[in-house]
Amino acid sequence: MSIELRHLRSFLAIAEEGSVTRAAARLHLTQPAVSRTLAAVEKHLGTRLVDRSTHHLALTAEGRIFRDKAAAAVAAFDEALDPTRLRRWPLRLGHAWSALGPFTTPLLRRWEREQPQTPLELLRIDDRTAGLARGEVDAAVLRGQVETPGLVTELLFMEPRVAAVTSDGPLAVKDELTLSDLAAGPVLVNPVSGITTLALWPEEERPVSAVTVTNTDDWLAAIAAGRGAGVSVVSTAEMHPHPGVTYRPLPDAPPVPVLLAHRVGPQHPALPALRDMARELTRQD
């Protein structure tokens, strides 16, 4: 039996819904039909994609990898058949927050001048790979170490870190802060798209607790409300000012690599031009 696009869509529905029953309802199919489709995909690949040993359906490690590949394949298919994109093929550049920081506007303006035939779409996607692994974008600006299979990355520059604290709190009066200054209170952590974890601190100085958020807007709101402090990069301070948040240099924290990434395999024809332009604009002699 050959695997078709419908098999991928069924598997993705299962992965997103976390249930064969809900996936079947979403696809307007019967539960047995969706179960047979899943079994056919697993048989074709020779591995289990879904763990059925618990009360809640969960993807196996192989299932998570296949989910990303299947999502990219479906997105590429839908993109190819979108009639609105036949005349002009935009280059989609994803980012989770702050894009290229101070280089963002120069990049967009220069692209408009030099590549007017190819629109450059800047898309903020709250995801560790800014939508790249799922095929939602053609390239992405990523921060921190990237271990997602199937991606190629290139270092553009290293970015210093900053602390973000409540503007009317005691830490805001200091000119600069240290990691130990932040360890006494909760720290805001974004496991969806952020780069800061408690592992940033030495084991003996780790913060007493962490508060989880899922995007930059909630991160800022929580800091302004006094729920904890955050750690980010200087571009965040420049591109996300907030009246209730004060940013301070954090010189004892290691800088963050800023990467340009794309998927292995076929690429948008304008990607080399984007790569060259990003290199030139961010070059630090």
pLDDT 10s digit of each residue in the chain, 285 long? 688 888 889 988 898 888 888 888 988 899 999 999 999 888 888 899 998 765 678 889 888 888 888 888 887 787 677 665 545 679 999 999 999 999 999 999 999 999 998 999 999 999 889 999 888 899 999 999 888 888 999 999 999 999 999 999 999 999 999 999 999 889 999 998 999 999 999 988 999 899 999 999 999 999 999 999 999 999 999 999 999 999 999 999 999 999 999 998 888 889 999 999 999 999 865
219: left (phi over 0), alpha (psi -120 to 50) or beta: alpha
**CA triple 215-244-197, angle to 5 deg:** 40
Assigned token pair, 23:
């996936």
At residue 155, the pLDDT reads 96
Q: 3-state DSSP call for residue 92?
A: strand
At residue 250, the pLDDT reads 98
Q: 3-state DSSP call for residue 136?
A: coil
Domain 5-80 has CATH 1.10.10.10: yes
Domains 88-158+257-282 and 161-254 share a fold: yes
At residue 208, the pLDDT reads 84
**Global confidence as pTM:** 0.73
- Residue 144 CA to residue 96 CA, distance in Å, equals 12
User: Identity (one letter) of the amino acid at 214?
Assistant: T
DSSP string, 215-261: SHHHHHHHHHTTS-BEEEEHHHHHH--BTTEEEEE-TTSPPEEEEEE
> Could you name the CATH architecture of 161-254?
3-Layer(aba) Sandwich (3.40)
Assigned token pair, 21:
């029953």
Give the helix/strand (H/E) hosting 22. helix 20-27
Q: In the chain, where are the structural domains located?
A: 5-80, 88-158+257-282, 161-254
> Could you name the CATH architecture of 88-158+257-282?
3-Layer(aba) Sandwich (3.40)
What one-character DSSP code corresponds to residue 90? P
User: Tokens 């997602």 sit at which residue?
Assistant: 148
User: Identity (one letter) of the amino acid at 193?
Assistant: S
- Residue 10 CA to residue 41 CA, distance in Å, equals 10
Task: Give me the half-sphere count of Cα atoms (radius 13 Å) on the Cβ side of residue 108.
Answer: 11
At residue 86, the pLDDT reads 47
- Residue 226 CA to residue 171 CA, distance in Å, equals 11
For residue range 233-255, list pLDDT tens digits in order. Answer: 999 999 999 999 999 999 999 99
